[in-house]
Structure 1
């Protein structure tokens, strides 16, 4: 079938590797002696090390460090080292009372001064930790810390939840290589390029982990697959291409995520304008809302899930599907006929019968860039271009480097991915503050209505009311950023996170996983156990 052609080139070489890989009978069973240990291959080695001040733990759990608060499996805020917190009526002062029984693994007590040091260091680091909103942080006493914000931001609590506390008395330039914290695990050994070894923190203030030793090996996904088959791993990250192969003694954990992929489409025409760095702004085809909306209706997302992801995923309609601040109203049904009508009603007609529609002499043709090192993005891009071809829209796909994408994303479509456990991402993607800022809003989308909802959500004290305002960013009944609104994005799929897990290993209840830049599966590692 024509729609299957695009997957052949991606998985053909894979077939050579996995052919003949049926069930394996050489796996070793866990003995009573090693049932408190696990060996895993769950992702790449953290380039920046294990320093929360430069971003470690932002996409999962810092493991070695504690946080003031954390989120449960339903993304509710719960206490960690904080025993209580309050917010002033003007939403600018956040005061946290911290427990008095949290100790770093060198024996020193964790105090408010360590919290102050951590957040000040993180703010000045210039890293992915965005603390722009934080005006100051002070220690009221040993067990009380107070943040002053420059402006109200209800999402600040999620930033707090993602920031592990470091010891001020031990922190230095090499801290990321030798982290000391008060979390449930201790980093005992790091053989760079090979592995890390963790041990349970027996002096942890919370429940002591049942898994006493954790070895995490740094492997490619094909090497992890081979090691899992050989019985050498208890958990192995895998891909949709491998996951349909059985490994004796292991099962596939198919974990829901908001690790999404979508098309960012310039919403402004080419008027000869450029960014401060000289990058061209605008696209005369994608700036027509009929093109964007027709693509959103006319691309079969379920087909993408089945054929590109082998069924291991779900259709995506926003950056935050399934989160408390995500709106069900953003979803649309695949409707090819409606997509055609949108185009024709807007004047996009194929007058010369070359298969490409035109409007006022302009061909419905544009370029779609993707990261050439990512096979899933490549396959999605090709699939999208084939779907668009049926609509009379020609999409020219081009795999390239992020350095090139940096320069061309303001005037071309890009296949990107997002997905954070924080509504602040909605602000970053759609608020006019972030137009043409980094990768957040290269499409140059602005809306006073969108800004209004985001500003109100930021200032709202009640989290449930804030979530309702975040949802209105997607669709308020009349407008929004979803398909029926301005549609600056055409969201495509959420990619499930897939792991081979040894039978008998209970990995607990997992949160919806964020974008896969870290090890989100271990966010609840302290709850894992052998059964």
Structure 2
């Protein structure tokens, strides 16, 4: 048997096992309200072949081939990516990143930017039919803060209620705090306990009705949800970590939606399915060590600085001499767009920070600085030092490897700078990321990411945001002003000036400590007839951003 045939057989066997498990409803732990009665069996084709693209006969169920299955559904302690599906918050953001009502019908922020007041709507209920009260809201916020989770509530000094009026007091202004509030899912105080993570009571449009460890989870519409009923009442998420498995799942008609990759999408089409391409801020770029090589190691015991990349001429030449569209074509088969910042297309993005591919300018920068190829080997040198550095990426990540190779080949060809690509395991990258260029990926719907990436208080920390050790006093001032503004809208001019104020900034037009390359387009196979609604610009990661508006999906 040929290798390809063996692989196909293995994938088909995997699919058969997945759906056999789903059909059996062999649950590890089910919510008490519906133990073991649900099935994730695929819709019948009614005699039609998968190639005919037959949608389910009863268009009220959906099967999604997902890349992972959560083992925790507690929004206050670990379940964050899908929080809007199962839980309501006080407020939410719409597709334009505007703050809109959720459990709160209105809110205000005092002039001192320290006091937030919310009016809790009447009549909202949890999925068990009990009323959502101000006491539940207070409990949810205090519990989330006490858990010291990735929900950063450290600035919340107090939360209190007077009837249906809820007041949150901060100890320091933070214009992005309202976005944190959007991710605090409200849970029932009376039912919150040790088993809540696997037996949650939801406040959002869906409720969890079945969970099978590392295999699948099933949602059904929450009949007690205060808002409009979801367009699809039952959604089955089946784990399919392998892209070949996901492709064969759509080819055989087993799923209605699944993730795919640029390579698979470029080389396949599936009858009865369309390729959904979503705009993102899932950006990839190069963190360039900003300082010269330091004599002392940092507090973690690692080398810091790079005598080659600390030269702004080198960084600018790389930024202007890189044809980003060509990288998109070579690395992602065209499923990407050039990137210029960590927040392209967001309300706080500064379009003035964009640069154009200008090879002549990039070459002149190097020539004028004395970087020339004197020995004809294709690599420039200056004072006997070669224009050469490593370019690291996380080993095993095919996308980052492809981007790194495309950049390396083009930079050598265009500029005579050698960037030797090397894959390094995640566990070994911290020892080298402070002193060598590294491909990193970011993408967030919160402008606070910019603060973490560029404020001097975060330089050189072990959280991956600013390993290049970038610092700039003017940028710090803008970032501080942005955080300290009263509202998201009032902060926008400061976020934009931090990127480029006409003289300096974090962007490639400014200090260029981070060379942005591209925003990866998120790709999905979607069965014809399924409408996935109006999507927000996707953040980093392919899976969860797609389903954040799941309640809006419908079969046409």
Could you state the TM-score of these two structures normalised by the residue count of structure 2? 0.88
Q: Provide the secondary structure at the position in 2 that maps to 1:466.
A: helix
2:446 corresponds to: 422
Q: Does 1:339 align with 2:362?
A: yes
Q: Provide the secondary structure at the position in 2 that maps to 1:420.
A: coil
C-alpha distance in 2, partners of 1:180/1:25?
37
1:27, distance to aligned residue in structure 2 (A) = 4.8
Check conservation: 1:367, 1:397, Cα contact below 8 A. Answer: yes
1:305 corresponds to: 328
In structure 2, the CA distance between the partners of 1:106 and 1:137, relative to structure 1 (3 Å rule), is: farther
Aligned counterpart in structure 1 of residue 284 of structure 2, from 261, 269, 279: 261
1:109 corresponds to: 131
User: Deviations for 1:28-70, whole angstroms, at most 9, x for unmatched residues?
Assistant: 62354x21111011332235x2222234234x54311111111
1:160 corresponds to: 181
Check conservation: 1:382, 1:397, Cα contact below 8 A. Answer: yes
* Structure 2 runs not aligned, ≥5 long: 10-48
C-alpha distance in 2, partners of 1:189/1:203?
18
2:468 corresponds to: 443
Check conservation: 1:86, 1:94, Cα contact below 8 A. Answer: yes
1:208 corresponds to: 229
C-alpha distance in 2, partners of 1:83/1:226?
45
- Aligned residues, how many? 510
* Structure 1 runs not aligned, ≥5 long: 1-11, 19-23
C-alpha distance in 2, partners of 1:29/1:13?
28
Question: After superposition, where does 1:235-254 map in structure 2 within 5 Å?
Answer: 235-244=257-266, 245-254=268-277
1:174, distance to aligned residue in structure 2 (A) = 3.5
Check conservation: 2:277, 2:524, Cα contact below 8 A. Answer: yes
Check conservation: 2:281, 2:540, Cα contact below 8 A. Answer: yes
Check conservation: 1:50, 1:62, Cα contact below 8 A. Answer: no
User: Deviations for 1:469-493, whole angstroms, at most 9, x for unmatched residues?
Assistant: 2111111111111112100100011
2:430 corresponds to: 406
In structure 2, the CA distance between the partners of 1:113 and 1:359, relative to structure 1 (3 Å rule), is: farther
Q: Does 1:282 align with 2:323?
A: no
1:158, distance to aligned residue in structure 2 (A) = 1.1
In structure 2, the CA distance between the partners of 1:342 and 1:132, relative to structure 1 (3 Å rule), is: farther
1:142, distance to aligned residue in structure 2 (A) = 4.6
Aligned counterpart in structure 2 of residue 198 of structure 1, from 216, 219, 244: 219
1:426, distance to aligned residue in structure 2 (A) = 0.7
1:21 corresponds to: none
In structure 2, the CA distance between the partners of 1:31 and 1:53, relative to structure 1 (3 Å rule), is: closer
Q: Provide the secondary structure at the position in 2 that maps to 1:403.
A: coil
Question: After superposition, where does 1:175-194 map in structure 2 within 5 Å?
Answer: 175-194=196-215
1:529 corresponds to: 554
2:254 corresponds to: 232
Q: Provide the secondary structure at the position in 2 that maps to 1:241.
A: helix
Check conservation: 1:61, 1:520, Cα contact below 8 A. Answer: no
2:105 corresponds to: 83
Could you state the TM-score of these two structures normalised by the residue count of structure 1? 0.92
C-alpha distance in 2, partners of 1:345/1:101?
70
1:98, distance to aligned residue in structure 2 (A) = 1.3
Aligned counterpart in structure 2 of residue 381 of structure 1, from 396, 404, 407: 404
Check conservation: 1:119, 1:137, Cα contact below 8 A. Answer: no
Q: Mark the structure with the bigger radius of gyration.
A: 2
Check conservation: 2:126, 2:224, Cα contact below 8 A. Answer: no
